[in-house]
Protein backbone atom coordinates (compact mmCIF):
# COMPACT_ATOMS: atom_id res chain seq x y z
CA UNK A 1 0.00 0.00 0.00
CA UNK A 2 1.15 3.53 -0.71
CA UNK A 3 1.20 6.26 1.91
CA UNK A 4 -1.81 7.90 0.24
CA UNK A 5 -3.80 4.64 0.29
CA UNK A 6 -3.07 4.11 3.99
CA UNK A 7 -4.18 7.65 4.84
CA UNK A 8 -7.32 7.28 2.75
CA UNK A 9 -8.27 4.05 4.51
CA UNK A 10 -7.67 5.55 7.95
CA UNK A 11 -9.69 8.62 7.00
CA UNK A 12 -12.62 6.44 5.97
CA UNK A 13 -12.39 4.30 9.10
CA UNK A 14 -12.27 7.15 11.61
CA UNK A 15 -14.79 9.27 9.68
CA UNK A 16 -17.32 6.48 10.12
CA UNK A 17 -16.46 6.23 13.82
CA UNK A 18 -16.90 9.99 14.18
CA UNK A 19 -20.27 9.89 12.41
CA UNK A 20 -21.46 7.19 14.83
CA UNK A 21 -20.31 9.26 17.82
CA UNK A 22 -22.13 12.33 16.50
CA UNK A 23 -25.29 10.30 16.05
CA UNK A 24 -24.94 8.94 19.59
CA UNK A 25 -24.55 12.45 21.01
CA UNK A 26 -27.50 13.71 18.97
CA UNK A 27 -29.59 10.79 20.25
CA UNK A 28 -28.54 10.41 23.89
CA UNK A 29 -26.97 13.73 24.80
CA UNK A 30 -23.49 15.01 25.50
CA UNK A 31 -20.49 12.96 26.51
CA UNK A 32 -20.23 11.90 30.13
CA UNK A 33 -17.24 13.00 32.16
CA UNK A 34 -15.90 9.45 31.92
CA UNK A 35 -16.20 9.55 28.12
CA UNK A 36 -14.40 12.87 27.98
CA UNK A 37 -11.60 11.63 30.20
CA UNK A 38 -11.15 8.54 28.05
CA UNK A 39 -10.93 10.63 24.88
CA UNK A 40 -8.58 13.16 26.45
CA UNK A 41 -6.33 10.35 27.69
CA UNK A 42 -6.45 8.68 24.29
CA UNK A 43 -5.45 11.90 22.58
CA UNK A 44 -2.57 12.41 25.03
CA UNK A 45 -1.37 8.81 24.68
CA UNK A 46 -1.41 9.12 20.88
CA UNK A 47 0.50 12.41 20.96
CA UNK A 48 3.15 10.94 23.28
CA UNK A 49 3.41 7.78 21.18
CA UNK A 50 3.99 9.84 18.02
CA UNK A 51 6.65 11.92 19.71
CA UNK A 52 8.50 9.08 21.48
CA UNK A 53 7.87 6.26 19.04
CA UNK A 54 6.24 4.19 21.79
CA UNK A 55 2.98 2.20 21.76
CA UNK A 56 -0.39 3.89 21.55
CA UNK A 57 -1.50 2.76 24.99
CA UNK A 58 0.78 2.14 28.00
CA UNK A 59 1.56 -1.52 28.57
CA UNK A 60 0.68 -2.49 25.01
CA UNK A 61 2.87 -3.02 21.95
CA UNK A 62 0.19 -2.15 19.36
CA UNK A 63 0.53 -5.53 17.63
CA UNK A 64 -3.03 -6.64 18.43
CA UNK A 65 -4.46 -3.26 17.45
CA UNK A 66 -2.66 -3.20 14.10
CA UNK A 67 -3.47 -6.85 13.41
CA UNK A 68 -7.18 -6.34 14.12
CA UNK A 69 -7.22 -3.34 11.79
CA UNK A 70 -5.51 -5.29 9.00
CA UNK A 71 -7.86 -8.25 9.53
CA UNK A 72 -10.94 -6.04 9.33
CA UNK A 73 -9.87 -4.52 6.03
CA UNK A 74 -8.14 -7.67 4.75
CA UNK A 75 -4.74 -6.01 4.45
CA UNK A 76 -1.71 -8.16 3.75
CA UNK A 77 1.20 -6.10 5.06
CA UNK A 78 4.37 -7.89 6.03
CA UNK A 79 5.44 -7.13 9.61
CA UNK A 80 8.47 -4.88 9.54
CA UNK A 81 7.83 -3.62 6.00
CA UNK A 82 7.73 0.09 5.25
CA UNK A 83 3.95 -0.03 4.68
CA UNK A 84 3.42 -1.86 8.00
CA UNK A 85 5.52 0.72 9.86
CA UNK A 86 3.62 3.54 8.17
CA UNK A 87 0.29 2.04 9.20
CA UNK A 88 1.43 1.75 12.85
CA UNK A 89 2.45 5.41 12.88
CA UNK A 90 -0.52 6.82 10.97
CA UNK A 91 -2.96 4.83 13.09
CA UNK A 92 -1.72 6.77 16.12
CA UNK A 93 -2.03 10.09 14.30
CA UNK A 94 -5.54 9.29 13.05
CA UNK A 95 -6.68 8.15 16.50
CA UNK A 96 -5.29 11.35 18.07
CA UNK A 97 -7.27 13.50 15.65
CA UNK A 98 -10.37 11.37 16.03
CA UNK A 99 -10.37 11.95 19.80
CA UNK A 100 -9.92 15.69 19.20
CA UNK A 101 -12.79 15.75 16.70
CA UNK A 102 -15.24 14.03 19.06
CA UNK A 103 -14.32 16.38 21.90
CA UNK A 104 -14.64 19.41 19.61
CA UNK A 105 -18.07 18.28 18.43
CA UNK A 106 -19.22 17.81 22.00
CA UNK A 107 -18.07 21.34 22.87
CA UNK A 108 -20.42 22.76 20.24
CA UNK A 109 -23.22 22.07 22.71
CA UNK A 110 -21.68 24.21 25.46
CA UNK A 111 -23.83 27.14 24.40
CA UNK A 112 -26.70 28.22 22.17
CA UNK A 113 -26.47 30.48 19.12
CA UNK A 114 -29.50 32.72 18.73
CA UNK A 115 -28.17 35.31 16.28
CA UNK A 116 -29.16 35.18 12.63
CA UNK A 117 -25.66 36.29 11.59
CA UNK A 118 -26.85 39.75 10.61
CA UNK A 119 -23.26 40.93 9.87
CA UNK A 120 -23.09 38.33 7.11
CA UNK A 121 -24.05 39.99 3.83
CA UNK A 122 -27.04 38.06 2.47
CA UNK A 123 -26.21 36.35 -0.80
CA UNK A 124 -28.42 36.72 -3.83
CA UNK A 125 -29.46 33.09 -3.84
CA UNK A 126 -30.48 32.88 -0.16
CA UNK A 127 -34.07 33.68 0.69
CA UNK A 128 -34.36 36.86 2.73
CA UNK A 129 -34.76 36.23 6.46
CA UNK A 130 -33.47 32.65 6.51
CA UNK A 131 -30.55 32.07 8.91
CA UNK A 132 -27.40 30.28 7.83
CA UNK A 133 -27.35 26.61 8.77
CA UNK A 134 -24.86 24.06 7.53
CA UNK A 135 -25.84 20.68 6.13
CA UNK A 136 -24.27 18.94 9.12
CA UNK A 137 -26.20 21.16 11.54
CA UNK A 138 -29.42 20.39 9.69
CA UNK A 139 -28.72 16.65 9.86
CA UNK A 140 -27.95 16.86 13.57
CA UNK A 141 -31.07 18.88 14.38
CA UNK A 142 -33.36 16.69 12.27
CA UNK A 143 -31.88 13.52 13.81
CA UNK A 144 -32.32 14.86 17.33
CA UNK A 145 -35.92 15.85 16.62
CA UNK A 146 -36.74 12.44 15.14
CA UNK A 147 -35.22 10.61 18.08
CA UNK A 148 -37.07 12.77 20.60
CA UNK A 149 -40.25 11.40 19.09
CA UNK A 150 -38.85 7.83 19.06
CA UNK A 151 -39.47 7.70 15.32
CA UNK A 152 -36.40 5.64 14.47
CA UNK A 153 -35.39 2.17 15.60
CA UNK A 154 -31.69 1.35 16.09
CA UNK A 155 -31.56 -0.20 12.62
CA UNK A 156 -33.22 2.86 11.09
CA UNK A 157 -30.73 5.15 12.83
CA UNK A 158 -27.83 3.32 11.23
CA UNK A 159 -29.55 3.33 7.86
CA UNK A 160 -30.23 7.06 8.06
CA UNK A 161 -26.64 7.62 9.18
CA UNK A 162 -25.41 5.95 5.98
CA UNK A 163 -27.77 8.08 3.90
CA UNK A 164 -26.63 11.31 5.56
CA UNK A 165 -22.95 10.37 5.29
CA UNK A 166 -23.29 10.09 1.50
CA UNK A 167 -25.10 13.44 1.30
CA UNK A 168 -22.30 15.10 3.26
CA UNK A 169 -19.74 13.44 1.02
CA UNK A 170 -21.47 14.90 -2.04
CA UNK A 171 -22.38 18.38 -0.80
CA UNK A 172 -19.84 18.89 2.10
CA UNK A 173 -20.69 19.26 5.78
CA UNK A 174 -20.53 23.08 5.91
CA UNK A 175 -22.72 23.61 2.83
CA UNK A 176 -25.34 26.32 3.40
CA UNK A 177 -28.59 24.38 3.11
CA UNK A 178 -30.41 27.45 1.78
CA UNK A 179 -28.07 27.21 -1.21
CA UNK A 180 -28.79 23.56 -1.97
CA UNK A 181 -30.53 23.78 -5.33
CA UNK A 182 -32.75 21.51 -7.39
CA UNK A 183 -29.72 20.93 -9.61
CA UNK A 184 -27.83 19.66 -6.54
CA UNK A 185 -30.71 17.32 -5.70
CA UNK A 186 -30.70 15.92 -9.23
CA UNK A 187 -26.92 15.43 -8.99
CA UNK A 188 -27.48 13.42 -5.80
CA UNK A 189 -30.11 11.30 -7.57
CA UNK A 190 -27.81 10.74 -10.54
CA UNK A 191 -25.03 9.63 -8.19
CA UNK A 192 -27.38 7.15 -6.50
CA UNK A 193 -28.16 5.50 -9.83
CA UNK A 194 -24.45 4.62 -10.09
CA UNK A 195 -23.77 4.03 -6.40
CA UNK A 196 -22.02 0.69 -5.68
CA UNK A 197 -23.88 -1.90 -3.67
CA UNK A 198 -22.14 -2.61 -0.33
CA UNK A 199 -19.57 0.08 -1.08
CA UNK A 200 -18.00 -0.09 2.40
CA UNK A 201 -17.74 -3.90 2.34
CA UNK A 202 -16.74 -4.69 -1.23
CA UNK A 203 -12.91 -4.91 -1.38
CA UNK A 204 -13.02 -3.20 -4.78
CA UNK A 205 -14.66 -0.03 -3.44
CA UNK A 206 -14.40 0.16 0.36
CA UNK A 207 -11.13 2.12 0.43
CA UNK A 208 -11.92 4.43 -2.48
CA UNK A 209 -13.12 8.00 -2.51
CA UNK A 210 -16.65 8.40 -3.86
CA UNK A 211 -15.67 9.50 -7.37
CA UNK A 212 -13.25 6.60 -7.70
CA UNK A 213 -15.78 4.11 -6.34
CA UNK A 214 -18.37 5.23 -8.90
CA UNK A 215 -15.97 4.42 -11.73
CA UNK A 216 -15.02 0.88 -10.70
CA UNK A 217 -16.14 -1.43 -13.54
CA UNK A 218 -18.42 -4.47 -13.15
CA UNK A 219 -19.64 -3.54 -9.66
CA UNK A 220 -23.33 -4.07 -8.84
CA UNK A 221 -25.21 -0.89 -8.01
CA UNK A 222 -28.01 -0.37 -5.48
CA UNK A 223 -31.50 -1.20 -6.70
CA UNK A 224 -34.35 1.23 -7.31
CA UNK A 225 -36.00 0.52 -3.95
CA UNK A 226 -32.77 1.45 -2.16
CA UNK A 227 -32.35 4.60 -4.27
CA UNK A 228 -35.83 5.64 -3.21
CA UNK A 229 -34.95 5.03 0.46
CA UNK A 230 -32.07 7.51 0.18
CA UNK A 231 -34.25 10.05 -1.62
CA UNK A 232 -37.04 9.60 0.93
CA UNK A 233 -34.56 10.30 3.74
CA UNK A 234 -33.42 13.52 2.07
CA UNK A 235 -36.95 14.58 1.14
CA UNK A 236 -38.18 14.00 4.69
CA UNK A 237 -35.32 16.03 6.17
CA UNK A 238 -35.70 18.98 3.80
CA UNK A 239 -39.47 18.86 4.26
CA UNK A 240 -38.88 19.11 8.01
CA UNK A 241 -36.47 22.00 7.39
CA UNK A 242 -39.07 23.82 5.30
CA UNK A 243 -41.77 23.39 7.96
CA UNK A 244 -39.35 24.77 10.54
CA UNK A 245 -38.43 27.83 8.47
CA UNK A 246 -34.87 26.75 7.69
CA UNK A 247 -35.22 26.48 3.90
CA UNK A 248 -37.73 27.91 1.48
CA UNK A 249 -38.07 24.82 -0.74
CA UNK A 250 -37.84 21.06 -0.42
CA UNK A 251 -35.56 20.44 -3.40
CA UNK A 252 -35.83 16.66 -2.99
CA UNK A 253 -39.63 16.57 -3.20
CA UNK A 254 -40.95 14.36 -5.97
CA UNK A 255 -37.55 12.92 -6.96
CA UNK A 256 -38.32 9.29 -6.13
CA UNK A 257 -38.43 6.78 -8.96
CA UNK A 258 -41.85 5.35 -9.68
CA UNK A 259 -41.92 1.56 -9.75
CA UNK A 260 -43.94 -0.46 -12.21
CA UNK A 261 -46.68 -2.65 -10.81
CA UNK A 262 -44.68 -5.84 -11.42
CA UNK A 263 -41.56 -4.52 -9.69
CA UNK A 264 -43.42 -3.14 -6.68
CA UNK A 265 -45.21 -6.41 -5.93
CA UNK A 266 -42.27 -8.78 -5.74
CA UNK A 267 -42.76 -11.59 -3.21
CA UNK A 268 -45.88 -10.05 -1.66
CA UNK A 269 -47.84 -13.31 -1.85
CA UNK A 270 -45.28 -15.39 0.03
CA UNK A 271 -43.60 -18.67 -0.84
CA UNK A 272 -45.39 -20.92 -3.30
CA UNK A 273 -46.42 -24.50 -2.46
CA UNK A 274 -43.38 -25.84 -4.31
CA UNK A 275 -41.04 -23.41 -2.52
CA UNK A 276 -42.46 -24.31 0.89
CA UNK A 277 -42.00 -28.00 0.08
CA UNK A 278 -38.38 -27.39 -0.96
CA UNK A 279 -37.64 -25.37 2.20
CA UNK A 280 -39.27 -27.83 4.60
CA UNK A 281 -37.70 -30.84 2.94
CA UNK A 282 -34.21 -29.40 3.41
CA UNK A 283 -34.86 -28.14 6.95
CA UNK A 284 -36.24 -31.46 8.16
CA UNK A 285 -34.20 -33.96 6.12
CA UNK A 286 -31.00 -31.92 5.69
CA UNK A 287 -30.11 -33.75 2.49
CA UNK A 288 -27.58 -31.07 1.47
CA UNK A 289 -26.07 -30.70 4.92
CA UNK A 290 -27.01 -27.02 5.17
CA UNK A 291 -28.52 -27.29 8.66
CA UNK A 292 -25.62 -27.64 11.07
CA UNK A 293 -26.80 -25.59 14.07
CA UNK A 294 -30.07 -25.59 16.02
CA UNK A 295 -31.05 -22.06 15.03
CA UNK A 296 -30.80 -22.98 11.35
CA UNK A 297 -33.61 -25.47 11.81
CA UNK A 298 -35.85 -23.83 14.38
CA UNK A 299 -35.60 -20.20 13.24
CA UNK A 300 -37.19 -20.76 9.81
CA UNK A 301 -39.69 -23.30 11.16
CA UNK A 302 -40.98 -20.88 13.80
CA UNK A 303 -41.26 -18.17 11.13
CA UNK A 304 -43.21 -20.47 8.79
CA UNK A 305 -45.68 -21.54 11.48
CA UNK A 306 -46.12 -18.17 13.24
CA UNK A 307 -45.38 -15.28 10.84
CA UNK A 308 -43.16 -13.67 13.49
CA UNK A 309 -40.47 -11.22 12.39
CA UNK A 310 -36.81 -12.24 12.20
CA UNK A 311 -35.73 -10.27 15.28
CA UNK A 312 -38.83 -11.25 17.25
CA UNK A 313 -37.77 -14.87 16.83
CA UNK A 314 -34.08 -14.24 17.39
CA UNK A 315 -34.60 -12.53 20.77
CA UNK A 316 -36.93 -15.10 22.35
CA UNK A 317 -36.00 -16.07 25.90
CA UNK A 318 -36.87 -19.50 27.22
CA UNK A 319 -39.24 -17.86 29.70
CA UNK A 320 -41.10 -16.47 26.67
CA UNK A 321 -42.13 -20.01 25.72
CA UNK A 322 -44.89 -20.86 28.15
CA UNK A 323 -48.44 -22.08 28.65
CA UNK A 324 -51.45 -19.87 29.15
CA UNK A 325 -55.00 -21.15 29.37
CA UNK A 326 -53.60 -24.56 28.46
CA UNK A 327 -52.07 -23.28 25.23
CA UNK A 328 -48.33 -23.25 24.52
CA UNK A 329 -47.34 -19.80 23.28
CA UNK A 330 -44.54 -17.54 22.17
CA UNK A 331 -44.69 -14.44 24.38
CA UNK A 332 -43.24 -11.77 22.08
CA UNK A 333 -42.36 -8.84 24.31
CA UNK A 334 -39.80 -6.14 25.06
CA UNK A 335 -39.62 -6.66 28.82
CA UNK A 336 -35.82 -6.77 28.67
CA UNK A 337 -33.47 -3.92 27.75
CA UNK A 338 -31.94 -6.07 25.01
CA UNK A 339 -35.28 -6.70 23.28
CA UNK A 340 -36.81 -4.39 20.72
CA UNK A 341 -40.23 -4.49 19.06
CA UNK A 342 -41.24 -2.67 15.92
CA UNK A 343 -44.58 -1.30 17.20
CA UNK A 344 -46.89 -1.60 20.19
CA UNK A 345 -48.96 -4.11 18.21
CA UNK A 346 -45.87 -6.34 18.03
CA UNK A 347 -46.27 -7.12 21.74
CA UNK A 348 -48.41 -10.27 21.66
CA UNK A 349 -48.95 -13.93 22.49
CA UNK A 350 -48.68 -16.22 19.48
CA UNK A 351 -49.97 -19.79 19.99
CA UNK A 352 -47.39 -22.45 19.16
CA UNK A 353 -48.52 -24.40 16.13
CA UNK A 354 -49.01 -28.10 16.86
CA UNK A 355 -46.64 -28.94 14.01
CA UNK A 356 -43.76 -27.30 15.92
CA UNK A 357 -44.60 -29.41 18.94
CA UNK A 358 -44.72 -32.57 16.81
CA UNK A 359 -41.32 -31.72 15.38
CA UNK A 360 -39.85 -31.53 18.90
CA UNK A 361 -39.56 -27.84 19.74
CA UNK A 362 -40.71 -28.32 23.35
CA UNK A 363 -38.15 -31.11 23.78
CA UNK A 364 -35.49 -28.78 22.44
CA UNK A 365 -36.56 -26.08 24.92
CA UNK A 366 -36.38 -28.62 27.75
CA UNK A 367 -32.85 -29.58 26.70
CA UNK A 368 -31.77 -25.92 26.74
CA UNK A 369 -33.21 -25.44 30.21
CA UNK A 370 -31.27 -28.39 31.57
CA UNK A 371 -28.17 -26.69 30.18
CA UNK A 372 -29.09 -23.50 32.10
CA UNK A 373 -29.54 -21.53 28.88
CA UNK A 374 -31.55 -18.32 29.06
CA UNK A 375 -32.41 -17.85 25.40
CA UNK A 376 -33.80 -20.02 22.64
CA UNK A 377 -30.77 -19.15 20.53
CA UNK A 378 -28.04 -18.54 23.11
CA UNK A 379 -25.24 -18.14 20.57
CA UNK A 380 -26.68 -15.05 18.88
CA UNK A 381 -24.78 -11.78 19.25
CA UNK A 382 -26.47 -8.37 19.34
CA UNK A 383 -25.82 -5.99 16.45
CA UNK A 384 -26.92 -2.37 16.87
CA UNK A 385 -28.00 -2.16 13.24
CA UNK A 386 -29.60 -5.58 12.77
CA UNK A 387 -30.60 -6.58 16.30
CA UNK A 388 -30.30 -10.25 17.31
CA UNK A 389 -31.22 -11.77 13.95
CA UNK A 390 -28.08 -11.07 11.92
CA UNK A 391 -26.71 -14.63 12.00
CA UNK A 392 -30.04 -16.24 11.17
CA UNK A 393 -30.88 -13.73 8.44
CA UNK A 394 -27.49 -13.95 6.75
CA UNK A 395 -27.42 -17.75 6.85
CA UNK A 396 -30.94 -18.11 5.47
CA UNK A 397 -30.74 -15.36 2.83
CA UNK A 398 -27.15 -15.73 1.64
CA UNK A 399 -26.52 -19.45 2.04
CA UNK A 400 -29.67 -21.53 2.47
CA UNK A 401 -31.80 -19.90 -0.24
CA UNK A 402 -28.84 -19.85 -2.62
CA UNK A 403 -27.99 -23.53 -2.13
CA UNK A 404 -31.57 -24.76 -2.58
CA UNK A 405 -32.04 -22.63 -5.69
CA UNK A 406 -34.64 -20.17 -4.35
CA UNK A 407 -32.52 -17.02 -4.15
CA UNK A 408 -34.12 -14.31 -6.28
CA UNK A 409 -34.97 -10.64 -6.11
CA UNK A 410 -37.31 -9.94 -3.21
CA UNK A 411 -36.97 -13.45 -1.71
CA UNK A 412 -35.70 -13.43 1.87
CA UNK A 413 -36.52 -14.54 5.41
CA UNK A 414 -39.19 -11.81 5.53
CA UNK A 415 -41.24 -13.68 2.91
CA UNK A 416 -42.29 -16.10 5.67
CA UNK A 417 -44.52 -13.31 7.04
CA UNK A 418 -46.15 -12.83 3.65
CA UNK A 419 -46.62 -16.59 3.41
CA UNK A 420 -48.39 -16.81 6.77
CA UNK A 421 -50.62 -13.79 6.13
CA UNK A 422 -51.58 -15.06 2.68
CA UNK A 423 -52.33 -18.63 3.82
CA UNK A 424 -54.41 -17.51 6.80
CA UNK A 425 -56.50 -15.15 4.69
CA UNK A 426 -56.94 -17.88 2.07
CA UNK A 427 -58.11 -20.19 4.87
CA UNK A 428 -60.93 -17.77 5.64
CA UNK A 429 -59.47 -16.15 8.78
CA UNK A 430 -60.78 -12.61 9.15
CA UNK A 431 -58.21 -9.89 8.57
CA UNK A 432 -58.25 -8.32 12.09
CA UNK A 433 -57.48 -11.73 13.61
CA UNK A 434 -54.61 -12.26 11.17
CA UNK A 435 -53.28 -8.81 12.09
CA UNK A 436 -53.39 -9.77 15.77
CA UNK A 437 -51.39 -12.95 15.14
CA UNK A 438 -48.62 -11.32 13.07
CA UNK A 439 -48.43 -8.10 15.10
CA UNK A 440 -49.94 -5.56 12.71
CA UNK A 441 -52.02 -2.61 13.91
CA UNK A 442 -55.72 -3.45 13.62
CA UNK A 443 -57.58 -1.13 11.29
CA UNK A 444 -60.86 0.70 11.76
CA UNK A 445 -62.58 2.51 14.63
CA UNK A 446 -64.35 -0.61 15.88
CA UNK A 447 -61.20 -2.69 16.08
CA UNK A 448 -58.94 0.01 17.53
CA UNK A 449 -61.29 1.82 19.90
CA UNK A 450 -64.00 -0.65 20.94
CA UNK A 451 -62.54 -4.13 20.55
CA UNK A 452 -59.71 -3.28 22.94
CA UNK A 453 -59.60 -6.65 24.72
CA UNK A 454 -58.73 -8.34 21.44
CA UNK A 455 -59.15 -11.93 20.35
CA UNK A 456 -58.89 -14.70 22.91
CA UNK A 457 -55.93 -17.04 22.94
CA UNK A 458 -58.19 -19.93 21.91
CA UNK A 459 -59.41 -17.93 18.91
CA UNK A 460 -55.81 -17.25 17.91
CA UNK A 461 -54.87 -20.90 18.38
CA UNK A 462 -57.78 -22.13 16.25
CA UNK A 463 -56.83 -19.63 13.57
CA UNK A 464 -53.16 -20.53 13.45
CA UNK A 465 -53.98 -24.24 13.32
CA UNK A 466 -55.63 -23.49 9.97
CA UNK A 467 -52.11 -22.86 8.73
CA UNK A 468 -51.34 -26.18 7.06
CA UNK A 469 -48.78 -27.33 4.52
CA UNK A 470 -50.28 -30.75 3.98
CA UNK A 471 -48.59 -31.24 0.63
CA UNK A 472 -45.26 -31.57 2.45
CA UNK A 473 -44.21 -35.04 3.56
CA UNK A 474 -42.85 -34.58 7.08
CA UNK A 475 -40.89 -37.13 9.09
CA UNK A 476 -43.39 -39.30 10.93
CA UNK A 477 -43.39 -38.50 14.67
CA UNK A 478 -42.99 -41.47 17.03
CA UNK A 479 -46.36 -40.74 18.57
CA UNK A 480 -49.34 -38.51 17.99
CA UNK A 481 -48.74 -34.80 18.54
CA UNK A 482 -51.19 -34.66 21.44
CA UNK A 483 -49.18 -37.26 23.35
CA UNK A 484 -45.94 -35.52 22.40
CA UNK A 485 -47.30 -32.19 23.59
CA UNK A 486 -48.46 -33.61 26.90
CA UNK A 487 -45.17 -35.37 27.64
CA UNK A 488 -43.10 -32.33 26.69
CA UNK A 489 -45.36 -30.15 28.80
CA UNK A 490 -44.92 -32.45 31.79
CA UNK A 491 -41.15 -32.33 31.45
CA UNK A 492 -41.09 -28.55 31.16
CA UNK A 493 -43.45 -28.10 34.10
CA UNK A 494 -41.35 -30.38 36.27
CA UNK A 495 -38.36 -28.07 35.81
CA UNK A 496 -40.27 -25.04 36.99
CA UNK A 497 -41.20 -23.60 33.62
CA UNK A 498 -43.25 -20.47 34.03
CA UNK A 499 -46.97 -20.81 33.58
CA UNK A 500 -47.94 -17.39 34.81
CA UNK A 501 -50.46 -15.48 32.81
CA UNK A 502 -50.00 -12.14 31.15
CA UNK A 503 -52.86 -10.04 29.92
CA UNK A 504 -52.67 -9.40 26.20
Q: Is the pLDDT of residue 294 over 90?
A: yes
Helix count and strand count (H, E) for the chain? 22, 3
Are both 304 and 442 inside the same structural domain? Answer: yes
99 occurs within a structural domain: yes
Are both 377 and 317 inside the same structural domain? Answer: yes
pLDDT digits (tens, 9 = 90+) for 259-293: 765 554 444 568 998 999 999 999 999 999 999 99
pLDDT at 124: 39
Are both 239 and 284 inside the same structural domain? Answer: no
Are both 194 and 327 inside the same structural domain? Answer: no
pLDDT digits (tens, 9 = 90+) for 78-95: 888 999 999 999 999 999
CB contact set of 244 (below 8 Å; sequence gap of 6+): none
Last residue in a domain, options 262, 291, 318: 262
383 occurs within a structural domain: yes
pLDDT at 487: 55
Q: Does an H or E element contain 22, and which?
A: helix 3-28
CB contact set of 71 (below 8 Å; sequence gap of 6+): none
Are both 57 and 91 inside the same structural domain? Answer: yes
The total number of residues written for the chain in this structure? 504
Please give the model's pTM, rounded to 2 decimal places: 0.54
pLDDT digits (tens, 9 = 90+) for 368-378: 999 999 999 99
- Measured CA to CA, the distance from residue 135 to residue 172 in angstroms comes to 7
Residue 463 near residue 424 (C-beta atoms within 8 A): yes
268 occurs within a structural domain: no
182 occurs within a structural domain: yes
Domain interval for residue 198: 129-262
pLDDT at 447: 44
Q: Is the pLDDT of residue 220 over 50?
A: yes
- Measured CA to CA, the distance from residue 309 to residue 438 in angstroms comes to 8
414 occurs within a structural domain: yes
Q: Is the pLDDT of residue 362 over 90?
A: yes
Q: Is the pLDDT of residue 476 over 50?
A: no
CB contact set of 112 (below 8 Å; sequence gap of 6+): none
Count of structural domains within the chain: 3
Q: Is the pLDDT of residue 424 over 90?
A: yes
Considering 36-40, 350-354, 385-389, the range whose residues carry the highest mean pLDDT is 350-354
pLDDT digits (tens, 9 = 90+) for 230-263: 999 999 999 999 988 889 889 998 888 877 655 5
pLDDT at 450: 37
504 occurs within a structural domain: no
> Sheet harboring 321-324: ordered strands across?
321-324, 327-332, 348-351
More confident residue, 21 or 116: 21
Mean pLDDT of 62-88: 88
Amino acid sequence: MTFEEIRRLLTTHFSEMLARQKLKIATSGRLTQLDKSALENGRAFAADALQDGTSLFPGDNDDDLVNRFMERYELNLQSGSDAHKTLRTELKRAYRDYCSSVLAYDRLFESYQFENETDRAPSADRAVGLPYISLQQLIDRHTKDSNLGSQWTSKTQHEKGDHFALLVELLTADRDVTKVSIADAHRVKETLTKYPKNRRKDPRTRDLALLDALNVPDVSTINVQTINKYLQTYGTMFGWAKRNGLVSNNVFEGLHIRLGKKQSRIARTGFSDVQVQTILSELLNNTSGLVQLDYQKWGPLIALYSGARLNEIAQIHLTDIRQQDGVWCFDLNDDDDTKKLKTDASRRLVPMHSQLIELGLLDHVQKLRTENAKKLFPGFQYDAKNGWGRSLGRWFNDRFLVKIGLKAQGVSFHVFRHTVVTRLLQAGIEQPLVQTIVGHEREGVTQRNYFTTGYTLLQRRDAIERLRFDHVVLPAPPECHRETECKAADRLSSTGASTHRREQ
